[in-house]
Amino acid sequence: MQVAEEKLNGTEKAAIFLMSVGEKAAAEVLKHMDPKEVQRVGAAMARLENVTRSKVDNVLRSFCQTVQDETGLGLGSDEYVRKVLVDALGQDKAEGLIDRIIQGGNTKGLETLKWMDPRAVAEIIRLEHPQIMAIVLSYLEPDQAAEVLALFPDRVRVDVVMRIASLEGIQPAALNELNDILEKQFSGNSSVKSSSVGGIKSAANILNFMDSSTESEIMDSIKEVDADLGQGIEDLMFVFDNLLEVDDRDIQTIMREISSESLVLALKGADDALKEKIFKNMSKRAAEMLRDDLEAKGPVKLSDVEGAQKEILAVARRLADAGEISLGGGGGEEYV
């Protein structure tokens, strides 16, 4: 990875920083990161090559300056932690982590689940009350939660998603019950405080990672039971057509991360307005080549088109989570 200092993103800066502080210190830092963050930073570390001394110095100097500017000798450290986490993860993801770090909530067992295969997680919670399932899935990353949810029967999926959307917070009694379950699996044991997870946006995030047919079935069933709740979830879901709402610079950032083959497949199922938005964010020559590829592609399976669109959306969400782009959801809010 040979990149100018001004073009380093946060993940690349973190990679250089961790490579600079030594194995033991880096390992201690990585212990406090979630699986997705470890994977992202680890991949960036593996790609590093020919990093100049000046580049390392600039990253370390920037880190020291940030620490000096934001906090001193622990004064105001809670606010500093809040600001750093929100800047790094976005408001939604940071809130749960802030609860656990600053307010003393204990979710060691739940954090362990994040490192497990979706089938293993599903096996652990499949016989539990749907409310417990909803709490567990709310703590997982949306893509992992979607894979776990896909392993449940239709009736269970609908019930669990509705419970996730209706969560406004977790009462201590519910968390204690959840800890009892996890204690049997991981020999964990502790008292806990209430934590804010779940909600309509959490349900929408999880459904975004489901395959289109399953997603539609769940949404139809939810609307039959509670039309307002279903509409609320739908309003916050970010689908492929919503890329029309993303600004041009961010569209260009997304396109740098995806293959031309995936883009051709995805656009086979897109409307003309979205195609034109993509074309105008490419060079004239690249746009002409893409038009030619689309015309030459011929008929393709709908499942292949939807798969390519999901792949591009996953890239877009990853970039949004890293703070590199902003995605406008159906509800007009930033999607992180």
What does the buried/exposed string (b/e) look like for 279-305 if buried means 16 or more CB atoms within 10 Å of the residue's CB? bebbeeeebeebeeebeeeeeeeeeeb
Q: Where are the alpha helices (DSSP H) in 268-325?
A: 272-280, 284-297, 302-321
In this prediction, residue 4 carries a pLDDT of 46
CA distance 217 to 208: 13
Q: Which residues pair with 72 in a beta bridge?
A: 75
Q: Which residues pair with 335 in a beta bridge?
A: 327
Task: Note every long-range contact of 117-123, with CB atoms under 8 Å and residues 24 or more positions apart, other chains counting.
Answer: 118/144, 118/147, 118/148, 118/150, 118/151, 119/151, 121/148, 122/148, 122/151, 122/152
Q: Cβ distance 14 to 37 under 8 Å?
A: no
CA distance 238 to 92: 15
Task: List per-block mean pLDDT (blocks of 10 residues) for the chain, which spans 336 residues.
Answer: 57 81 75 74 77 76 66 51 62 56 51 79 84 85 89 91 83 63 54 53 81 82 87 80 87 89 89 91 90 87 85 84 69 38
123 by Cβ neighbours in 10 Å (0-12 / 13-18 / 19+) ranks as: middle
Q: Thinking of the domain 240-335, which architecture would CATH place it in?
A: Orthogonal Bundle (1.10)
Instruction: Name the region of 315 (left: φ>0; alpha: ψ -120 to 50; beta: rest).
Output: alpha
Q: Thinking of the domain 108-236, which architecture would CATH place it in?
A: Orthogonal Bundle (1.10)
Structure tokens that stand for 180 in this block: 């009892």
CA distance 143 to 148: 9
CA distance 287 to 173: 57
Q: Could you say which DSSP state residue 240 is in?
A: G
Domain coordinates in residue numbering, the chain? 5-70, 108-236, 240-335
Same-fold call for 108-236 versus 240-335: yes
Structure tokens that stand for 117 in this block: 């295969």
